[in-house]
Amino acid sequence: MKKFKQENDTTEFKSILNEKLEKEVVAFLNSKHGGNLYIGVSDNGEILGIQNPDKV
């Protein structure tokens, strides 16, 4: 099982796309340092992938 690094102030993982994504993006935009948002990765860093990415 492949894993990413851990979440922190500038790194956020989302297993699926949902309504909370907008809040995360706005938080990073308001941050002094910005950040990285990884979709298809669980909170513990496990890479899950995305089904039908073109549809999403």
Read off the DSSP letter of residue 37. E
Using CA atoms, how far residue 22 sits from 18, 26, 52, in Å, is 8, 6, 21
Token pair recorded at residue 28? 């990073």
Domain ranges within the chain, ordered by starting residue: 1-56
pLDDT at position 20, please?
A: 79
CB atoms near residue 16 (< 10 Å): 13
pLDDT at position 33, please?
A: 85
Q: pLDDT for 2-43, tens place per residue? A: 676 788 888 889 888 887 788 888 888 888 888 888 889 998
Distance CA 4, CA 54 (A): 23
Report whether pLDDT(53) > 80. Answer: no
